[in-house]
C-alpha cells in the first residue's frame, strides 16, 4: 500500500537535492533520509538551513544558475536531483530562467562527474504541447540527454497537493471550485509524496533507471468527481463552475490557459497500472490522499 511499504535496504549514498525546501525536493529529501541516505539540501537561502536540519538534511547554500556555487555542493556526491521552476514569486512565467537553471545544473554535474542525475520534468513534455513551461522543461531534458551523464527523468502529472494548498482552500471558501475545463474533463493526478518515493527508487537502482523517462500518476478523475470528493472531505457542499477562457487568461496568463486547453483537448495519459508493475510501488489514489490530508472544515 502507498506509504505502508517496507523500505528496502540499499547502499548508503550521498545525494544533493535541489529545491529541498520546496514540494518535490522536500518529498525527495524525506524519502532518501527514510532509506538511510545522506542528503544535502541545496537552498539559495541560508535562513532555511535550520529547517533542513530538522528533517535530517545537511543544508548547503547554492544557486542552480551559478555554476561556481554548485561545485562545492556536488563534491563527492553519488547523485543529484534537479528540479527547476519557471515561476517567479508573483507566479509570472520566465521560461528562459528555467532553462538556465537546468542547463547550468547539468553542466555542473557533468564537470563534477556525478554518477547519476535525476531530473524533474513534466508529463507530456516531449509531445510539442506548445505550453511554454512544458517546452522549457523539454529543452532541459534535451540538454541532459546530450550531456554524457547517466540520467533518469521523472515526469509527474498535476499534483493532488494543489487541491489542498492554502491558496486553493481560500478559493473554495465561497463553496465554488472554478477551472477552465468542463466538469466531464478527466484529470490525472499524482501525490507529491509518490514523486519522492519514485525518485528514491531511481537512485537506489541506477542500472534499472538509467536512460528512462518515467511518467508519474496515481489516479484519474473527472473534475466533477474531484469536486464531490473535496466536498466530502471539507464537509461543505462545493459547486463546480466552468471558468471562461478570458477570465482564466486574465488570472493565469497565456501559459496557464494553454495548459488548461491541453487538459481539455488531450490531457495526460500515463499508464498507471504499468507504472506500478514496473516499479513495485502502488501509487496513491486521490481518496487516500484526502484521507491522510489534515484539513479543517471550511465552514
Domain residue spans in the chain?
A: 14-292
Q: Cα-flanking dihedrals φ and ψ of residue 155, to 5°?
A: -125, 85
Q: Write out the chain's pLDDT in tens, 299 residues.
A: 444 444 555 689 999 999 999 999 999 999 999 999 999 999 988 888 988 999 999 999 999 999 999 999 999 999 999 999 999 887 789 999 999 999 999 999 999 999 999 999 999 999 999 999 999 999 999 999 999 999 999 999 999 999 999 888 888 888 999 999 999 999 999 999 999 999 999 999 999 999 999 999 999 999 999 999 999 999 989 999 999 988 888 888 899 999 999 999 999 999 999 999 999 999 999 999 999 998 766 65
Q: According to the model, what pLDDT value does residue 163 have? A: 93
Q: According to the model, what pLDDT value does residue 3 have? A: 46
Q: According to the model, what pLDDT value does residue 170 have? A: 86
State the Cα–Cα distance between residues 81 and 89, nearest whole angstrom: 22
Going from the C-alpha of 128 to that of each of 132, 133, 218, the distances in angstroms are: 10, 11, 24
State the Cα–Cα distance between residues 44 and 63, nearest whole angstrom: 6
On whether the CB atoms of residues 32 and 17 are closer than 8 A, the answer is: yes
CATH of domain 14-292: 3.40.50.720
On whether the CB atoms of residues 219 and 286 are closer than 8 A, the answer is: yes
Q: Cα-flanking dihedrals φ and ψ of residue 198, to 5°?
A: -70, -35
Closest of 220, 193, 206 to residue 281, by C-alpha: 193
Q: According to the model, what pLDDT value does residue 2 have? A: 45
- Give SS3 for 202: helix
- Give SS3 for 135: helix
- Helix-, strand-, coil-residue percentages of the chain, each rounded to 5: 45, 20, 35
Q: According to the model, what pLDDT value does residue 183 have? A: 97
Bridge partners, 153 (sequence order): 119, 213
State the Cα–Cα distance between residues 268 and 208, nearest whole angstrom: 24
* Beta strand residue intervals within the chain, DSSP E: 14-18, 38-43, 58-61, 79-82, 117-120, 151-156, 158-159, 176-179, 186-190, 213-216, 219-222, 239-242
Q: According to the model, what pLDDT value does residue 90 have? A: 78
State the Cα–Cα distance between residues 72 and 189, nearest whole angstrom: 36
State the Cα–Cα distance between residues 201 and 281, nearest whole angstrom: 9
Amino acid at each position: 500500500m502507498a506509504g505502508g511499504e517496507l523500505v528496502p535496504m540499499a547502499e548508503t549514498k550521498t545525494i544533493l537535492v535541489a529545491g529541498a525546501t520546496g514540494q518535490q525536493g522536500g518529498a525527495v529529501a524525506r524519502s532518501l533520509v527514510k532509506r538511510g541516505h545522506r542528503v544535502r539540501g541545496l537552498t539559495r537561502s541560508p535562513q532555511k538551513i535550520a529547517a533542513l536540519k530538522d528533517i535530517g538534511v545537511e543544508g548547503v547554500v547554492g544557486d542552480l544558475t551559478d555554476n561556481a556555487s554548485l561545485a562545492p555542493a556536488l563534491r563527492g556526491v553519488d547523485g543529484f536531483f534537479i528540479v527547476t521552476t519557471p515561476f517567479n514569486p508573483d507566479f509570472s512565467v520566465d521560461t528562459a530562467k528555467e532553462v538556465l537553471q537546468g542547463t547550468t545544473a547539468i553542466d555542473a554535474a557533468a564537470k563534477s562527474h556525478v554518477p547519476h542525475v535525476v531530473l524533474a520534468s513534466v508529463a507530456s513534455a516531449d509531445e510539442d504541447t506548445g505550453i511554454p513551461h512544458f517546452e522549457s522543461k523539454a529543452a532541459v531534458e534535451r540538454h541532459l540527454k546530450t550531456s554524457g551523464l547517466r540520467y533518469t527523468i521523472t515526469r509527474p502529472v498535476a499534483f493532488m497537493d494543489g487541491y489542498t494548498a492554502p491558496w486553493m482552500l481560500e478559493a473554495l471558501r465561497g463553496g465554488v471550485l472554478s477551472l477552465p475545463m468542463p466538469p466531464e474533463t478527466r484529470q490525472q493526478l499524482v501525490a507529491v509524496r509518490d514523486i519522492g518515493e519514485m525518485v528514491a527508487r531511481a537512485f537506489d537502482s541506477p542500472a534499472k533507471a538509467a536512460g528512462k523517462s518515467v511518467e508519474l500518476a496515481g489516479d484519474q478523475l473527472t473534475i466533477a468527481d474531484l469536486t464531490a470528493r473535496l466536498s466530502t472531505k471539507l464537509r461543505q457542499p462545493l459547486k463546480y463552475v466552468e471558468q471562461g477562457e478570458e477570465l482564466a487568461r486574465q488570472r493565469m496568463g497565456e501559459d496557464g490557459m494553454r495548459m488548461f486547453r491541453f487538459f481539455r483537448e488531450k490531457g495526460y495519459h500515463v499508464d498507471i497500472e504499468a507504472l506500478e508493475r514496473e516499479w513495485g510501488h502502488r501509487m496513491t489514489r486521490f481518496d487516500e490522499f484526502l484521507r491522510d490530508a489534515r484539513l479543517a472544515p471550511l465552514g
